[in-house]
Amino acid sequence: MAWQMTQLLLLALVAAAWGAQAPRTPRARTDLLNVCMDAKHHKAEPGPEDSLHEQCSPWRKNACCSVNTSIEAHKDISYLYRFNWDHCGKMEPACKRHFIQDTCLYECSPNLGPWIREVNQSWRKERILNVPLCKEDCQSWWEDCRTSYTCKSNWHRGWDWTSGYNQCPVKAACHRFDFYFPTPAALCNEIWSHSYKASNYSRGSGRCIQMWFDPILDNPNEEVARFYAESMNGAGLHEAWPLRCGLLLLLLWLLS
């Protein structure tokens, strides 16, 4: 009887370890690819949008944004978020185009699934976190914006909204971008609460998300999302194998 109880106990331990080490991901595998965020202006599902406006046009074959959203993304203090880019004087046009492109990527891309996380916010249920942005995109964003002015390093929170759009809070001084963001990585990582993470990979590597790409060519971010989705789904299984194999070997030894 004692031997039978030992066998049952060992089998229970193996089963428990097997279940406990199962891979866990925020979404099912099918939801990591070709998916839209559950956020303020996103469509429920991606699809063609032939008339996307100007800088949002690279996503016209398959987009999470509507035509109207793409138009509003190009406006100052648009209805999207009532955000004022010129909160410290006129933002340089070369700088503003990066923020328009950033908005287009956020609103339109169906390839951000591996980095979507649930949030408890009144205006959205999901956000992106640590999207690996190609180093050239971070570098050019910083280079083109370093001589424009801002008063904050985190643009997600802490603004004065009493006027209906964002203004600098009291005692927040306006300085050049390179005062608040001394490096390209600081800009990409910090400006939207780590929505992006400056990558060491280059454009075309298949390992980083491109903010800019040629609309005539296929969307390179599809390959990137697929790589990270497969990596995320395989991680839990790979981590579980050593423990599972060890327990199975112990069980076989005891039963022999």
User: Mean pLDDT across the stretch 212-239?
Assistant: 81
Instruction: Find out whether 94 and 147 touch, Cβ atoms under 8 Å.
Output: no
Looking at every residue in the chain, the average pLDDT score rounds to: 84
Q: What is the pLDDT of residues 240-254, one digit of tens each?
A: 444 454 555 555 555
Compare 197 and 7 and report the one with higher pLDDT: 197
Q: Cβ of 188: how many Cβ atoms within 10 Å?
A: 28
Q: What pLDDT digit, counting tens, does each position of 130-148 carry? A: 999 999 999 999 999 999 9
Helix, strand and coil in the chain, % to nearest 5: 45, 10, 45
Between CA 118 and CA 124 the distance in angstroms is 9
What's the whole-model pTM score? 0.79
pLDDT on residue 120:
85
